[in-house]
Amino acid sequence: MKKFTFLQRLRNKIRIDGELDLEISENARIVNCFIHCRGKNNTLVIEEGSVLRHTHLEILGNNSSIVIGKNCGIGHNSYLSAKEGRTLLVHDECSFSRNVKIMTSDGHPIFQEDRMMNYAKDITIGKRFWIADNVTVLKGVEVGEDSVLGINSTVTKSVPAKSIAVGNPAQVVKENIRWED
C-alpha cells in the first residue's frame, strides 16, 4: 500500500481508520484538503495534473472508492463522498467550481419495517465536464461528457452528454452544446 508523502501529510489533514489503497500521481496537487477514510479495502486515486484545494474527500465503509481522472480541478469547499462499497468516478479534464457536493449515499440509512430503503449507488462524471458553484450531485447519477451543471442545481437524475442541466431538481435545458475554458 502506498503512503501519503511527507508534504501531502503536512499540507492536508488526513485521517485513515482502516485500509486505503492510495494512488496519487506525483504531479497531482492536493492542498488544504481533509481526507477521511474508514473501513477496509477502500481506494483513492488522483491522476496526473489534477488539483484539489480545500476539498473534503470521504471514503467510508468497505470497498468504497473515489477516482479522480487526469487534469481535473476541484474548487474550494467541495465535498466528495463514497460510502457503502460504492464508487465515485470523475473522468479526465473536469472542472468543479466552489461548494460542489457529490455523494454516493444519503448519509444515513433509513429503514421501513426493518428493511433499508435508501441504498447507496455509484456516481460517474463524464470527461470534460463543468460543474458550477453550489451544485449537489446525488447517488446513482451519471453525467455525460462535455456537459455543464448550472449554479445552485441539485442533480437527482442522469444528464446526457453535451447538455446543460439547471435547477432543483436539475432539468436539461440545452443539448448539443460545447464549452471552452
pLDDT tens profile 102-112:
999 998 889 99
pLDDT tens profile 78-129:
999 999 999 999 999 999 999 999 999 998 889 999 999 999 999 999 999 9
137 HSE (CA, 13 A, CB side): 33
pLDDT tens profile 40-78:
999 999 999 999 999 999 999 999 999 999 999 999 999
SS3 state at 181: coil
Give the pLDDT band of residue 1 (cuts 50, 70, 90).
low
Q: What proportion of the chain, given as a percentage, has pLDDT over 90?
A: 90
> Which domains are delineated in the chain?
6-175 (2.160.10.10)
Cα separation of 128 and 91, whole Å?
7
Do the beta carbons of residue 60 and residue 44 sit within 8 Å? no
Burial class from Cβ neighbours inside 10 Å (0-12, 13-18, 19+) for residue 119 reads middle
173 HSE (CA, 13 A, CB side): 11
What is the rounded average pLDDT of the residues 2-19?
A: 90
Cell numbers 471514503 correspond to what residue? 59
Position 17 pLDDT exceeds 80: yes
DSSP letter string, 74-136: E-TT-EEEEETT-EEEE-TT-EE-TT-EEESS-SS--EETTEE------EEE-SS-EE-TT-E
